[in-house]
Structure 1
Amino acid sequence: MWLIVGLGNPGPGYVDNRHNIGFRVIDELAHRTGARFAAPARMRAEIAEGRLGPIGPDSTRIVLLKPRTFMNESGAAVAKATNYFKIKPDRLIVVHDELDLDLGQLRVKHGGGDNGHNGLKSIRKSLSTGDYFRVRVGVGRPPGRQDPADFLLSNFPPREADEVQIEIGRAADAVESLIGSGLERTQSSYNS
């Protein structure tokens, strides 16, 4: 079993923000697998269970998670889910926005620092480790002197809508590849 977490902020005002691209990738994976979200109060998250791969004993069970906490408290929901489903960090994939990558760039990695990302900091604090898989989806740097927080909490412009959808699909493909083919093969196929 794998736990796949998308990072973002809950609520309709944040849906299309750059900071919520992790949620959108999780929604794409739910769509692909036919999984439906529920929001058990004790979990502090929206959770959907599904399977990847061919129907039958060779399919892989997955749990998709979107924290119902704000970004800087994401770790609480991730810790609850890892405990409940008995998932170790080597079966955890976190999908998140990345300022240091342009839109159209993607990086898959294992472990590493938090690079100032409050969601990753919260997960590290709650799990006492940063040794889990990450799918970093590029959203680009803010123009000029715009505050990075304001940039992340703004929507992608309409002219980028098609490219954003392509990247959401690529990130979902990378998650599936990571589970099915491993880190090295996924990195060689998707890291740009």
Structure 2
Amino acid sequence: MKIIVGLGNPGPKYAGNRHNIGFMAVDALHRRHAFGPWTRKFKAEISEGELAGEKVLLLKPQTFMNLSGEAVGEAVRFYKLAPGDIIAIYDELDLAPGRARLKTGGGHGGHNGIKSLDAHCGKDYRRLRLGIGHPGAKELVNNHVLGDFAKADAVWLEPLLDALADNAEMLVRAEDSQLLNKLALATGAPAEPDAPARPKPPAPPSAPKPAGKSHIRQARPDVPKMLPTTGPMADMLKRMFAKKDGD
């Protein structure tokens, strides 16, 4: 059995919030597949069904985001499941809108819902993070996550949720790379992180050119100028300078 939990805040006030994309994803799965009606149990709304030949419990905690782990923990203990049987779907500030990442374990990244799941269920559960983008400044984060999606976001949000619902069996079978490719194709977002550009190694410094010399002089080493002290040439030079001194 698998538990697919979408994280969000209960009530109509929060229904369209970016922070509630986990609820929206689970609702999309519920609409697309043969799940039973929503009922209340484990401090959550739950619905039972089957995907990829396996029993699946859809779960939306009704405890508010910061206490999401209480609901999931109760369900895990009731069904005697392990952390690896949990799939959590939630919003991710550090991913661009429309991008998705899927992994097992990891840190909470400051997400209060994930902090609560870690505390009640351990960390070794699967995490499907759906990007909502970052507003650009820390002081804007709260209003961003608790603000509603804009109408323009429908361009990527609806295809993302539809693709996730269409390929939900891949999620249950842990066909992670295939699922991420499907989501990327639906939204036009890259399936994998962009490879960072490798900086080019700096060019070696060129040797400075000697100032005030032609290219001919540069190609020819300077030779110390030596005057002969013996021989015919020396005698001639002595006579020349002696004559000049006597003028």
Alpha-carbon separation, structure 2, partners of 1:145 and 1:95: 23
Return closer, same or farther for 1:99/1:174 CA change in 2, 3 Å cut-off.
farther
Task: Find the partner of 1:134 among 123, 127, 137.
Answer: 127
Aligned equivalent of 1:97: 91
Query: Which consecutive segments of 4 or more residues in structure 1 shift more than 6 A?
Result: none
Structure 2: how far apart are the matches of 1:147 and 1:181?
Answer: 35
What amino acid does structure 2 have at the position aligned with 1:32? R
- Paired with 2:177 and 2:138, the residues of 1 have a C-alpha distance of 37
Percent of residue pairs identical: 40
Secondary structure of 2:143's aligned partner: helix
1:135–1:174 contact (8 Å) kept in structure 2: no
* Residue in structure 2 matched with residue 56 of structure 1 by the alignment: none
Number of aligned positions between the proteins: 184
User: In the superposition, relative to structure 1, how do residues 146 and 166 fare at CA in structure 2: closer, same or farther (>3 Å)?
Assistant: farther
Distance of 1:147 and 1:86 partners within structure 2 = 41
Structure 2 residue ranges without an equivalent (≥5): 184-190, 193-247
Tell me the CA shift for residue 175 of structure 1: 4.4
Report SS of the residue matched to 2:22: helix
Give the Cα–Cα distance (whole angstroms) in 1 for the partners of residues 45 and 83 of structure 2: 20
Is residue 38 of structure 2 the alignment partner of residue 37 of structure 1? Answer: yes
Asked if structure 2 preserves the Cα contact closer than 8 Å seen for 1:93 and 1:135, the reply is yes
Q: Which runs of 5+ in 1 are unaligned?
A: 54-58
State the AA in 2 paired with 1:163: W
Q: SS at the partner of 1:162?
A: helix
Contact 1:106–1:171 (8 Å) recurs in 2: no
Q: Highest CA radius of gyration, 1 or 2?
A: 2
Higher relative contact order (CA 8 A, sep 6+): 1
Distance 2:108 2:48 in 1: 27
1:176: how far off? 2.7
CA drift at 1:146: 4.6
In the alignment, what sits opposite 2:104? 110
Please give the TM-score of this superposition, normalised by the length of structure 1: 0.88
Cα-Cα RMSD: 1.8
Taking a change above 3 Å as real, the CA distance of residues 144 and 120 of structure 1, as seen in their structure-2 partners, is: closer
